[in-house]
Every structure is written in C-alpha cells, then in structure tokens.
Amino acid sequence: MSTTDWTRRTFVKNAAAAGVAAAAAPALLRTRPAAADAAGTLALEKIALANARVFDGRTLTEPRTVVIDNGRIGVSALGARTIDAKGATLLPGLIDAHVHLEDVSTLEQLTGYGVTTALDMACWPPSLMNSLRHRTGLTDVRSAGIPAVAPGSLESQLPGFPQSELVTGSDQAGRFVAARVAEGSDYIKLIVDTPGLSQDTLDALANAAHAYGKLVMAHATSSAAVDEALLAGADMIHHVPLDIALTGTTAARYAAGRRVSVPTLTMMEGFAALGIPGLSYAAARDSVIALHQAGVRILAGTDSNHKQGIPVQPAFGTSLHHELELLVQAGLGTVEALQAATVLPARSFGLYDRGVVTPGCRADLILIDGDPIADIRATRNIQRIWAGGIEYAPAA
C-alpha cells in the first residue's frame, strides 16, 4: 500500500468520524477512484439514500429510502449518513452480457457509465483475466477465458491467440474444456462459424462443458451458424445474423429450448456500417423482432473491445446505453430493455446477488435523472454510481 493510499484512507476514516465525510468523500472519490485499492479495505460508508424512486423490475416505486451498508443493500438506516436523492431514479447497476476486457482502464470505463457487472466473452491469457477479478470499487467480472476456435479461422489469427488451444476435432473437446475450467473460466465460449468447428466438435464441446456444470456461449453471426449453435445445445447465442433475419420458426426453436439471445445490436450496427456486401443491419434488427415476438429471453450486450484486428470497437460503458436504445427500437418495451441489462442477465448467469435493489444484494446502484421507462435515454443521465457499495464518479 502506498503512502498516498494510506493517507487517503485515513483521511476518509477520520473525516467520517468527524462528520465531514459528506463533503469530503465525494471530492476524494472524484479525483481518485476506488480502482487503486486492491486490498479491499476502502472505507465502506453506511448511507441512507432517501427519496429515491426505485426501479423494482416492473415500475418505479414511490420515493423511498435505500440503505447501502457494508457493500450490500441494507435494511436499517440507523447510523447512516443520509443523502437526499430528491426524487431521482435508482436503478440496479447495469450488466453488460458481452464484452472483451483488456486492462484495468476498461473496468474503469465500465464503472464510470454505471456498468457494475461485465460478462467477458473471450480474453487471454488467463493471467490477465484473473488479474481483473475482484477489484474493489470497480466493475465485477466473469469470463469465458480462451474461446474454442477452429484452426484457420479469423479468431485464430488475432494477435496473441494461444495456438496450442485451437480445437482440431471432437476428440479435443474434453481436454479443451478441462483446461478452461482449471484456468477459472466461468463458462465456455464456442466460435460457431461456417467453415469452422464441425457440428460433431461443437456437440462434444457443449456436452463437455455441461458435464462440468458450465453454461455454453455460442458466437453466431449468420443464419447457418445459429442453426449449428442451436443443434449443439448452446445455452446462449451471442449476436444475431447480418445475412438473413431469423425466421419465426428459428425463433420458436430458441424459445422451445429456453435459449437466451445476446444480440449485441451495437456491434451488428457497426459491422453493417462497414459496407460488406450481403450484410445488413435490417437483418439483425428483424432477428431481434422475431426473437422478441417468440418470447425469447434477450440480454443487453455490446461486444465492447480494444482487440487489434477487430474492425468495430464499441466503447466500454457508454455503448451499453446505446444498446438499450437499439433494443427499444427493435421492439422491446423500455421495462424489458431495463430488465435485459439488470435482472435477466443476473438470473441467466446465476448471479443471484445483483440485478435487483433488494436487501442483501450487492450495493451496485446508479442514480439517474429522469424516468427511463418513459424514455430509455434517461439511463445516460447518471448522477451517482456505487459499485459494491463504493461510490465511483460518473464518466460524464
């Protein structure tokens, strides 16, 4: 711990004891985000956030008090410092269900836009991924680690991709999944493409992942790839086709198999804008319309990345707000869009300690001006952010 860290902590603690933290702490957090605190010993101030209209998953409540206590949503305001929210809207911290983390700065950008949980869908080496876990006061992450990729594919040629982990056939499935589990991957990601991993290999990988109790994520950006992903039994299918929109029949297959869709419309919009013949954003948007009409669970994900060799790089954090707007334009209601970035990803990934503002859950919260149910763009008007109960200064 550096002298500066020690001084800052001591000051926050003493200021709190002297009753001046209300004025001093936010200013300190603004100049010095909690990011630097790897030891996790930042002062966790108890706060009673009064007069907040809370998004309860369906509607905004009448103004009420929410307690932030030791990193969690508390029950009693006793001994808490009160902050008057003045009728502003309190949302659970947002969840981005598709990012590619790069370094601590990507976590800081996510946190600064109220994205307090990020689900990484391919990151290597494992030492980098694991170094981004459990960063007190910053976005909390889960990751697929190294994805299953066929030799010769686009992904296999990305800089630094570990060539020893390429999957050459179904006989490699057990080894591949065991290695990911040993490294700490939270779920298993398959790159489904034509040409790419064979159906046999996809099936074997999905079976191996399920045998370890891991969810299977499939990358599929064409109708043919979606068919393969569905056949393999992927739990979540990321992206939507840019070639031909999903049909009602295919959407019904998602629904019947309780498959979850993470359309990443932000990324599909970016790719469509490259002007590649045969690819159109309309196919992506119409696919979401079909999935929504079929009652398929849809999660908000952006594909934010800084990967060399990827021509479209949605910005971390801010692009999740754009994704919510695109989902609404593709037919989701505003409440459904908010659910797609809060309670639904929490449930789909088994993260039952977040996604809702309920006592006992992580105090991942964003306080915003306006009513996002009336206008989804209101999620951008962030006043204050708490990640695991620690306040973080909004990026803009």
Binding region for Zn ion (CB under 5 A): 121, 303
CA angle 64, 68, 69 (to 5 degrees): 135
Enclosing H/E stretch for 108:
helix 104-112
Pick 250 or 266: Cβ nearer Zn ion: 266
Q: Residue 127 Cβ, how far from Zn ion at the closest point, in Å?
A: 20
Pick 42 or 209: Cβ nearer Zn ion: 209
Kindly give, in sequence order, each residue whose CB lies less than 8 Å from that of residue 45, ignoring residues fewer than 6 positions away.
Answer: 12, 16, 21, 25, 68, 81
- Which residue of the chain is nearest Zn ion when measured via CB? 303
Enclosing H/E stretch for 225:
helix 223-232
Give me the helix-helix angle, 173-183 and 199-211, nearest 10°: 40
Largest CA distance in the chain: 66
Q: Residue 100 Cβ, how far from Zn ion at the closest point, in Å?
A: 6
Q: Residue 184 Cβ, how far from Zn ion at the closest point, in Å?
A: 19
Pick 45 or 303: Cβ nearer Zn ion: 303
Q: Residue 111 Cβ, how far from Zn ion at the closest point, in Å?
A: 20
What secondary structure letter does DSSP report for 298? Answer: B
Q: Residue 320 Cβ, how far from Zn ion at the closest point, in Å?
A: 14
DSSP character string of 5-61: HHHHHHHHHHHHHTT-HHHHHHHHHHHS-GGG-TT-------EEEEEEEEB-SSSBP
Pick 157 or 247: Cβ nearer Zn ion: 157
CA angle 94, 97, 103 (to 5 degrees): 85
Q: Map residue 394 onto helix, strand or coil.
A: coil
Beta bridge partners of 387: 390
Pick 268 or 366: Cβ nearer Zn ion: 268
Q: Map residue 119 onto helix, strand or coil.
A: strand
Q: Parallel, antiparallel, or unpaired: how do β-strands 89-92 and 236-238 relate?
A: unpaired
The closest of 50, 145, 139, 128 to 95, measured between CA atoms, is 139
Pick 121 or 365: Cβ nearer Zn ion: 121
Q: Residue 189 Cβ, how far from Zn ion at the closest point, in Å?
A: 9
Token couple for 187: 């779920």
Q: Residue 306 Cβ, how far from Zn ion at the closest point, in Å?
A: 12
Matching residue, tokens 């949503």:
73
Pick 129 or 363: Cβ nearer Zn ion: 129
Give the whole-angstrom CA distance, residue 329 versus residue 285.
8
Pick 238 or 259: Cβ nearer Zn ion: 238
Q: Residue 25 Cβ, how far from Zn ion at the closest point, in Å?
A: 37
Pick 121 or 202: Cβ nearer Zn ion: 121
Q: Residue 303 Cβ, how far from Zn ion at the closest point, in Å?
A: 4
Beta bridge partners of 50: 84
